[in-house]
Amino acid sequence: MKISFLIHNAYGIGGTITTTFNLAAALAERHEVEIVSVLRHREHPNLTPHPRVRLRALVDLRHEKDHPLFGRPAKVFPSAEYRHHQYSELTDRRIAECLADIDADAVIGTRPGLNVHLALQAPEHVARIGQEHLTLDNHPPALRTALRRAYRRLDVLTTVTDADAASYRRKMRLPGVRVEALPNSVPDPVLPAADSTARVVVAAGRLVPVKRFDLIIEAFARVAAEFPDWQLRIYGKGEEQERLRAQIETLGLWNNVFLMGAATPMEAEWVKGSIGAAASNFEPFGMTLVEAMRCGLPVVSTDCPYGPGEIIEDGEDGRLVPVGDGAAFGAALLDLVRDDELRRRMGRAAVANAERFAPGPVVARAERLLQDAVGARSGGRRGAPADAGGMHHTLVSQGHAARDLARAAASSALRTVRKGRR
């Protein structure tokens, strides 16, 4: 198969970029794969794509900010989408032209606004797979309305957790669309797993309020008071950096808590620790949890919606504590700090249990979804596996109606962007 990923900006840093590069690399072992980045702001991406994965950009922000269409708001990309302010009539045009000319068997959108473009503008022969890396409940009502209309024209919609897939099936009612969970994958580690002897807790992610690194620092103060030889190392960058630095000073933890900056890849830093920590109020998946576990660290995490509860088995390979509860978080950390054997046992279990997020199992699921979608699309069906039998009659009639709407919407969008050429 030829597979194209459509992504916001492949030249930045973030969980969606990481998992897209990971999945693209694994698929490239057996398929022709490209990543189409709508935006580009630098010469080289922060992450290095697999040698067999082609990377191309549609709008280069270094040179095209003076384009007459750049300052006009996007009309296809939904206005209620979080990134709408970064889109324009120029991105409308470039995405429409890219999809009109694409020769892929399947295109995978990686955020809601791009999934809308894909649903409305992809050619008839292309299987349309929309990925959701956030959760349905995280989308504002206006965006949900826009997605409900557009997503009916997808073949497959994937979420990163089973809970969110169930939410989409229950609340969005997308006839003819196959909705399934496809978790993010983490590459197989190349370094030996942590041996649980280091007196280090490791946390990583964007330094933004929702990640609650302040709660981790507050909880770790309880550890440092009893075990002053332990450290907390926080990796990442973001708007909360100075506030977190001030908190460290206020609590007198300057010899115990360190803001390490960003590190890519993180594997070499995870294996230097013995415990992972994550305290988000909200986490659609939890890439850092899986990364830490694959490196042999039991993880203490808040039990926030939706990811941690599907990744961590409480008491077996980590601990789940109530959201926002610094005392419970500190107590869970102390349980692991005090008990060397418990740390070792949970670390071994973390490695074993996290293997389900290795590229092999995840890519096998992705390939099955892609093959079913391509086969169904070529056979005039949508969404269902190739052996779904009698359900195809229903899906065909729904697919015909949706395709008629898609043709009209795509034609309208293309007329809009062509006007801009004049």
Residue-range domains of the chain with CATH: 2-185+361-419 (3.40.50.2000), 200-357 (3.40.50.2000)
Q: What pLDDT is stored for residue 422 in this prediction?
A: 40
How far apart are alpha carbons 29 and 362 in whole angstroms? 14
What distance in Å separates the CA atoms of residue 258 and residue 248, rounded to the nearest whole number?
A: 8
Distance CA 50, CA 10 (A): 13
Q: In what order do the strands lie in the sheet with 127-132?
A: 53-60, 32-40, 2-7, 106-109, 127-132, 156-159, 178-181
Q: Are 113 and 81 spatial neighbours (Cβ–Cβ below 8 Å)? A: yes
Dump pLDDT digits (tens) for 32-75: 999 999 999 999 998 899 999 999 999 999 999 999 999 999 99
Cα–Cα distance between 373 and 376 in angstroms, integer? 5
If one counts every other C-beta atom within 10 angstroms of the C-beta of residue 173, the result is 10
Q: Which residues of the chain have pLDDT under 70?
A: 381-422
272, two tokens: 């230097």
Neighbouring C-alpha atoms within 13 Å toward the C-beta of 179 = 23
Q: What is the pLDDT of residue 383?
A: 55
Q: Please give the pLDDT value at position 403.
A: 37
- Residue 305 and residue 85: Cα distance in Å, rounded? 27
How many Cα atoms are found within 13 Å in the side-chain-facing hemisphere of 361? Answer: 13
User: What size, in residues, is the chain?
Assistant: 422
Task: Characterize 51-73 residue by residue with b for buried, 16 or more Cβ atoms within 10 angstroms of its Cβ, and e for exposed.
Answer: eebebebbbeeeebeebebeeee
Q: Is 141 helix (H, G, I), strand (E, B) or coil?
A: helix
pLDDT computed for residue 172 by the predictor = 94
Identify whether the C-beta of residue 126 lies closer than 8 Å to the C-beta of residue 105: yes
Contact 119, 153 (CB under 8 A): yes
Return d(Cα 254, Cα 8) in angstroms, integer: 38
Residue by residue, DSSP assigns 389-418 as TTHHHHHHHHHHHHHHHHHHHHHHHHHHHH
